[in-house]
Structure 1
Amino acid sequence: MTTQTAPGTARSLNEVPGWFRAIDQDLFRVLLDATATEPGDLLEMGCYLGKSAILLGEHLRAEETFTVCDLFGVESHGLYSRRDTLAFYRQTLTREAFEANYLAFHENLPVIVHGRTTALASRIERDSCRFVHIDASRTYEDMSGDIDIARSVLRKHGVVAIDDYRTEHVPGVAAAAWEAVFTKGLRPVCLSAAKLYATWGDPEPFQRAVRSWAADRVDRVVADEKIDGDPVIRVINAIPGPRGARRLALELLPPVVSRALVRPKTGR
């Protein structure tokens, strides 16, 4: 996360506090462009201080609606996995700070739903969204419900981005995300270190868009994987130099090979 900047004073996205990594900023842009073949609304569940919302707003077209839902630090009991996380959000997250940050980059605010994400089920039309970002509660029950809402409001050829799908201190998020893959028809498109990107439609066109984008980059690498026989791609940072090549090999090679690379040398 960047150094804390006073709300509304940031002049670049990287100055806005938040955990929105550069590689995910790239993937958001690629997939937002890929979903823009026809009008569709944007939805974010959990916005913190607006870093990802600001980027989403850059891709909002005149005929589309962008909705943001967050508790903004109020009535947050039970929604975070650790007490210190709850305290942190209460101290730093306010609706006023989010609005100031967003308006530093855009003329108009998105539609703001100040409350729990359960309210979205009756506020967002079915099959109306082309991109949904889920980054709200960290409990299994809430995350599972948020995925169900995304499934309802996302059009068939839309994309959902699920944050923290592999973070160790929020196992409920991982449980809900992979449950959706294996029991709710969610099909992974690609994986970053922080987010799972998926669709209830055909992932191949989106994977093609990611591959095409990565082919022109020297700082990104695409690795091919399979989940239950279906192709999925991982997108990781390319690290220049000999050490970078070794670290990249550790990321990409099978475990039996990567273990050989890290095996300590013995003297003779």
Structure 2
Amino acid sequence: MATTQEAMRPPHRLDDVPGWFPVLDQLLFEWFLNRQEAGGTRGDLLEVGVYMGKSAIFIGRHQQPGERYTVCDLFEGDAPDDANRAESTKSYSALTRRVFEDNYRSFHDELPRVLQGPSSLVPAEVEARSCRFVHIDASHLYEHVHGDIGAAHDLLLPDGIVVLDDFRSEHTPGVSIATWEAVLNRGLHPICLSTQKLYGTWGDPEPVQEALLDMARERSDCHLSVQEAAGHRIVRLKSKGMPAPVFPPSKHAVAAKAPEPTPAAVSAPAPAPAPAVPPARPAPRRGSRVRRVAVDLLPPVVTRAIRKARAARS
């Protein structure tokens, strides 16, 4: 569970947003949404139960022009009953609407439409048969999940996709019962199972399931198994070290100041020019030196005669 400090820290990457959104489910969300868009399917998007916004941020990247994106959560509001209130207090005490909105705005310019309150608000606020993709990750109590699945049935387009979280966690038996009840008694066709979520449709599951099998068989990082149960083909997928889909960094990361360039080293002052060395006097010729010494040693009369003779020659 995220601490208040972690929830308030500005995210730089999707992984910095607290929450539970495994890499395999990121891959599957990306695959289902891309397939709809490539096939020309248009429709609204809905997430029920957003926590800190991790999967909501991911889905928001796929909102196409003209589509409406709605999210619903209690946030810090009052739960509709004691059981839901106890669940919220235990598991989601750090969640506030402001934290969700700050996280979402870190990656997107505009917020989705936010419904603050129980998921029972959704059917009256979202148009019937308007959604192409619905992610349900709200209350884990059977009665609430049963109602959320019924709402998804009414809101989805004929071949729309519903994703049910925590359908087999040991601490969420209410979700498991409501999910498999929908498969056995309410016409929901499972497309695939990840370790955490069931992906289904009330339309024809075969075309999308065949395309999914082709994709999974081409990947070396995805374990695949296929089983039959109660007349349904069950495709199970598991990650084998697969990388997460590339997701753009947040505005915090983009706007973060680049590291200051290391200041150029201050140049050491140029050494002062060495003082000019006076040109060396040419060494006197040896003969001249000998004559000078000889003149100094002769008697004065002879020395004067020699000097007069030199002066006369110059």
Q: TM-score, normalized by length of structure 2?
A: 0.71
| Alignment-derived partner of residue 53 in structure 2 | 50
**Deviation (angstroms), 1:239:** 6.0
Residue range with higher mean Cα deviation, 211-220 or 19-28: 211-220
1:30 touches 1:213 (CA, 8 Å); kept in 2?
no
| 1:8–1:216 distance in 2 versus 1, CA, 3 Å | farther
Q: Secondary structure at the match of 1:34?
A: helix
Separation in 2 of the partners of 1:182 and 1:229? Answer: 9
Tell me, which stretches of 5 or more residues in structure 1 are unaligned?
A: 241-268
Residues 140-183 of structure 1 deviation map (CA, whole Å, 9 limit, x = unaligned): 11100000000000011010000010011111111111111111
The alignment-based identity, stated in percent, is 44
Q: Which amino acid aligns with 1:228?
A: A
| Alignment-derived partner of residue 252 in structure 1 | none
| Alignment-derived partner of residue 125 in structure 1 | 127
| 1:112–1:62 distance in 2 versus 1, CA, 3 Å | same
> Aligned ranges for residues 2-13 of structure 1 at < 5 Å?
5-7=6-8, 9-13=10-14
Q: Secondary structure at the match of 1:19?
A: coil
| Alignment-derived partner of residue 106 in structure 1 | 108
Separation in 2 of the partners of 1:8 and 1:65? Answer: 29
Separation in 2 of the partners of 1:200 and 1:211? Answer: 19
Separation in 1 of the partners of 2:216 and 2:200? Answer: 18
Residues 216-267 of structure 1 deviation map (CA, whole Å, 9 limit, x = unaligned): 4221122111121221200102269xxxxxxxxxxxxxxxxxxxxxxxxxxx
Q: Which amino acid aligns with 2:147?
A: G
Q: Which amino acid aligns with 2:11?
A: A
**Deviation (angstroms), 1:25:** 0.7
Separation in 2 of the partners of 1:85 and 1:115? Answer: 12
Separation in 1 of the partners of 2:53 and 2:103? Answer: 6
Q: Secondary structure at the match of 2:65?
A: coil
Q: Secondary structure at the match of 1:141?
A: helix
| 1:5–1:39 distance in 2 versus 1, CA, 3 Å | same
Look at both structures and tell me which one has the larger radius of gyration over its CA atoms: 2
Separation in 1 of the partners of 2:167 and 2:155? Answer: 21
Q: Secondary structure at the match of 2:176?
A: helix
Q: Which amino acid aligns with 1:214?
A: A
| Alignment-derived partner of residue 63 in structure 1 | 66
Separation in 2 of the partners of 1:104 and 1:239? Answer: 28
Residues 183-218 of structure 1 deviation map (CA, whole Å, 9 limit, x = unaligned): 110000000110000000011222233223323422
2:7 touches 2:52 (CA, 8 Å); kept in 1?
no
Q: TM-score, normalized by length of structure 1?
A: 0.83
| Alignment-derived partner of residue 149 in structure 2 | 147
Q: Secondary structure at the match of 1:35?
A: helix
| Alignment-derived partner of residue 24 in structure 2 | 23
Q: Tell whether 2:92 aligns with 1:86.
A: no
Residue range with higher mean Cα deviation, 203-212 or 219-228: 203-212
Tell me, which stretches of 5 or more residues in structure 2 are unaligned?
A: 243-314
Q: Secondary structure at the match of 1:197?
A: strand
Separation in 2 of the partners of 1:24 and 1:132? Answer: 14
1:2 touches 1:15 (CA, 8 Å); kept in 2?
no
Residues 39-74 of structure 1 deviation map (CA, whole Å, 9 limit, x = unaligned): 110000000000000010011101101000000032
Q: Which amino acid aligns with 1:29?
A: E
Q: Which amino acid aligns with 1:191?
A: L
